[in-house]
Amino acid sequence: MKIACIGAGYVGGPTMAMIAYKCPDIEVVVLDIAQARIDQWNSDKLPIYEPGLDEIVFEARGRNLFFSIDVEKHVGEADIIFISVNTPTKVRGVGAGAAADLTYWESAARTIAKACTSSKIIVEKSTVPVKTAEAVEKVLARNCVDKSIRFDILSNPEFLAEGTAIDDLKKPDRVLIGGRETESGLKAVATLKAVYERWVPSERVITANLWSAELSKLTANAFLAQRISSINAISALCEATGANVKQVSYAIGTDSRIGPKFLNASVGFGGSCFQKDILNLVYICESVGLKEVADYWRSVVTINDYQKDRFVNRMLEAMFNTVSGKRCAIFGFAFKKDTGDTRETPAIDVCHKLMADKAKIACYDPQVTEDQMIRDLSLDPYMWDHPAGQVTPKMTMVKQQFTTCKTAYEAAAGAHCIAIMTEWDEFKTLDYQKLYDGMVKPAYIFDGRNIVDPVKLREIGFVVYGIGQPLDPFVTESAF
Ligand SMILES: NC(=O)C1=CN([C@@H]2O[C@H](COP(=O)(O)OP(=O)(O)OC[C@H]3O[C@@H](n4cnc5c(N)ncnc54)[C@H](O)[C@@H]3O)[C@@H](O)[C@H]2O)C=CC1
Ligand SMILES: O=C(O)[C@H]1O[C@H](OP(=O)(O)OP(=O)(O)OC[C@H]2O[C@@H](n3ccc(=O)[nH]c3=O)[C@H](O)[C@@H]2O)[C@H](O)[C@@H](O)[C@@H]1O
């Protein structure tokens, strides 16, 4: 059996590497139009930082795992073709800022139509609006010259989270496969199911109809993000009342119907998918006339934006309503720990707001390069996922207010405040006395991840703000 995957990104790369690793007899080729990305996959330094990924790729690469830009050749030769291209939020035209941009998706479908001379199973791996499989079927049916060729479209959404991708792929809670409930559709489902059952217990490989599978992915992300927005909304109430959101999370999470996961209040969720997928869900609901449902889900994003605003407002309020010219140390830029991914990271919004108030930012992240940060801060919203989203004139302005540092200590030296944006483990064990000694006084810590101990840091002399934690007396007693 031969598998090809169009799109060698955060999903295509690791998922295909896992299939190749677990099934040495299946040839897996991961394809991309971006030569640079393929070169990185073929090098010693992979394009993605993900714990455990190197071992898997290095074992399978060259054996039965290959990375190539020769898309048409390998698509033509494959039995199963995964499509794992980016499906970003539209930046212009109808549905801009909400609908999914299916340009890359459709171009992948057209490539398949052009390249195929035999019947194939096509697997939607990307997250797509419900009913996208129908659009793919139509593109293939009208473009494939040989009418005897059959395409069976499956939906097999990916549920991995970055930072834990390899564990998630090795031991998934479930694998979901949706297909047409026809004879050939069911056969295609069984073929893909058999691939996963090589390492996933069969009761965890769930099957559904195509539309249920497509919608389940958007719904899963919406539910996960909704939990974060719910606890973040409560964190604001905690700060207003003296309750502690960590205690509230623990108390409610012990109810087995609620469960303890995804209840960490934070500066807001980031990542390439939560916001994009909720906006997409909202757009679909509006398109079918479900305004109330759309409004309900939109509020998850509204609260997330509110949380980021609230965080910066707390910083300003504590620092006498001005950060003009003040050095602000930003600890962490990635959207979560154990990844170098910065897509939709809350750090971007926080830095933008601080820079708008004329702050000087000194940022340290163990995995994110300076180029990446400057690029992120220079792009317009949603542009990061589009190839056109290249250098903008904003870059020069950003560079005047933003520098990167090699260590947390360097970032904090001479700073008025530290803002923790990513929960990297190393931030938990820093020598905070040393950091304090090198800072301007009063020295502040704004913990956007609730990873430091406010009591200990207050003993050192810091003014500490933690999301949803009782406010520091320095702030409550001030005249502001
Ligand atoms: N990043 C994540 O953790 C997860 C992402 N997803 C979904 O998976 C999909 C892919 O996401 P990522 O891997 O993060 O995106 P990505 O941007 O990292 O990778 C997509 C790749 O597809 C390539 N591409 C675009 N059009 C192409 C074409 N016509 N032919 C060949 N290559 C093409 C791009 O050059 C890019 O390298 C999205 O729909 C996303 O919503 C789903 C679960 C998790
Ligand atoms: O479709 C996707 O792209 C993926 O989106 C998320 O995965 P990911 O974005 O990689 O990471 P998460 O662990 O979900 O974290 C997302 C954001 O929420 C934040 N978060 C998470 C949990 C929490 O309790 N509090 C919180 O603020 C994280 O810091 C991060 O910024 C989902 O967890 C995956 O199941 C899904 O496949």
Residue range 401-435, pLDDT digits in tens: 999 999 999 999 999 999 999 999 999 999 999 99
Q: Which two tokens stand for residue 111?
A: 């490539």
Nearest ligand to residue 274 Cα: 2
Ligand nearest 112 Cα, by number?
1
Closest listed residue to residue 315, CA positions, set 375, 248, 361, 283: 361
Task: Tell me the average pLDDT across 469-476.
Answer: 90
User: Is the CB–ligand 2 distance for residue 159 below 6 Å?
Assistant: yes
Q: For 190-223, write each residue's pLDDT tens digit.
A: 999 999 999 999 999 999 999 999 999 999 999 9
What residues form the annotated binding site? 7-12, 32, 37, 85-89, 126-127, 162, 273-276, 343
Q: What is the mean pLDDT of the chain?
A: 94
pLDDT score of 479 more than 60: no
Tell me what the mean pLDDT of segment 336-340 comes to: 92
- Cβ–Cβ under 8 Å, residues 471 and 465: yes
**Whether the CB of 271 sits within 6 Å of ligand 2:** yes
Rg (CA), the chain: 24
- Number of residues that this document lists for the chain: 480
Question: Which band of pLDDT confidence, cut at 50, 70 and 90, is reported for residue 121?
Answer: very high
Query: Of the listed 23, 238, 273, 417, which one is catalytic?
Result: 273
Q: Which atom of ligand 1 is nearest to the CA of 162?
A: 3
d(C-alpha 163, C-alpha 264), whole Å? 17
| Alpha carbon of 179 to ligand 1 centroid (Å) | 21
Dihedral of CA atoms 30, 32, 36, 38 in degrees, nearest 10, equals 10
pLDDT at 475: 84
Residue 390 or residue 48, greater confidence: 48
How far apart are the CA of 431 and the centre of ligand 2, in A? 29
- How much is the pLDDT for 393? 72
Binding residues for NAD(+): 7-12, 32, 37, 85-89, 126-127, 162, 273-276, 343
Taking the CA of residue 268 as reference, the ligand 2 atom at the shortest distance is 27
**Predicted pLDDT at 389:** 52
- For residue 7 and ligand 1, the question of a CB distance below 6 A is answered with yes
Q: pLDDT tens, 230-268?
A: 999 999 999 999 999 999 999 999 999 999 999 999 999
Q: Which residue's CA is minimally distant from atom 22 of ligand 2?
A: 262
Rounded CA gap, 220 and 168, in Å?
15
Ligand number nearest CA of 100 is 1
Cα–Cα distances in angstroms (integers) from residue 443 to residues 333, 344, 362, 414, 476, in the given order: 21, 28, 15, 10, 16
Looking from the CA of residue 337, the nearest atom of ligand 2 is 29
CA distance 377 to 373: 6
Between 393 and 137, residue with greater pLDDT: 137
Q: How many CB atoms lie within 10 A of CB 367?
A: 17
Residue 363 alpha carbon to ligand 1 centre in Å? 28
100 lines ligand 1 (CB under 6 A): no
pLDDT band at 388 (very low <50, low <70, confident <90, very high): low
- Read off the pLDDT of each residue in 150-172 and give the average, rounded to a whole number: 96
Q: Which domains does the chain have, with CATH numbers?
A: 2-200 (3.40.50.720), 223-479 (3.40.50.720)
Catalytic site includes residue 116: no
User: Which pLDDT score, from 0 to 100, does residue 480 have?
Assistant: 41
Query: Which residues face 124 on adjacent strands?
Result: 83, 155
Global confidence as pTM: 0.95
Examine the predicted complex and report whether its ipTM is higher than 0.90. yes
Question: Which ligand lies nearest the alpha carbon of 126?
Answer: 1
Is there an atom of ligand 1 within 6 Å of 273 CB? Answer: yes
Q: What integer pLDDT is reported at residue 254 of this predicted model?
A: 98
With a 6 Å cutoff on the Cβ, whether 263 touches ligand 2 is yes
Mutate to test the pocket of ligand 2, among 232, 279, 281, 335 (most ligand atoms within 8 A of CB): 335
For ligand 1, say whether the CB of 156 is within 6 Å of any of its atoms: no
